[in-house]
Amino acid sequence: MKRPKIKITLIDQKGEKGCHRGHKIGDTFDFDTERGKICPMVMHVAFPYIDILRYGGSVPGNEPGTAVFCCPDADTINVFKIEIYE
């Protein structure tokens, strides 16, 4: 069975300071080929959601095949969306 492709997109910023890694709303990354470009703190939070979606699970309160989460930097509070795509 082929693993689904995962896209990670920055969809909102709620903190008072800009992202220290330079991420901006609309930035999109392919998990398999571009994850090294994403802030390590973001990836630390994203991994469990990616595993849930990749292996057929769903995240409560999110559309099937998606997960929305925030980075752990309280000054930045970037909001990301993970999506399965083909």
pLDDT in tens, 35-65: 999 999 999 999 999 999 999 999 999 999 9
pLDDT in tens, 20-32: 999 999 999 999 9
Rg (CA), the chain: 12
Residue 83's nearest CA partner among 1, 2, 11 is 11
Cα(74)–Cα(86) distance, rounded to whole angstroms?
A: 33
pTM for the model: 0.93
What does the pLDDT read at residue 29?
Answer: 97
* Position 86 confidence tier, pLDDT thresholds 50, 70, 90: confident
Which of helix, strand or coil describes residue 36?
helix
Residue ranges covered by each domain of the chain:
5-85
Cα(63)–Cα(60) distance, rounded to whole angstroms?
A: 8
What does the pLDDT read at residue 16?
Answer: 85
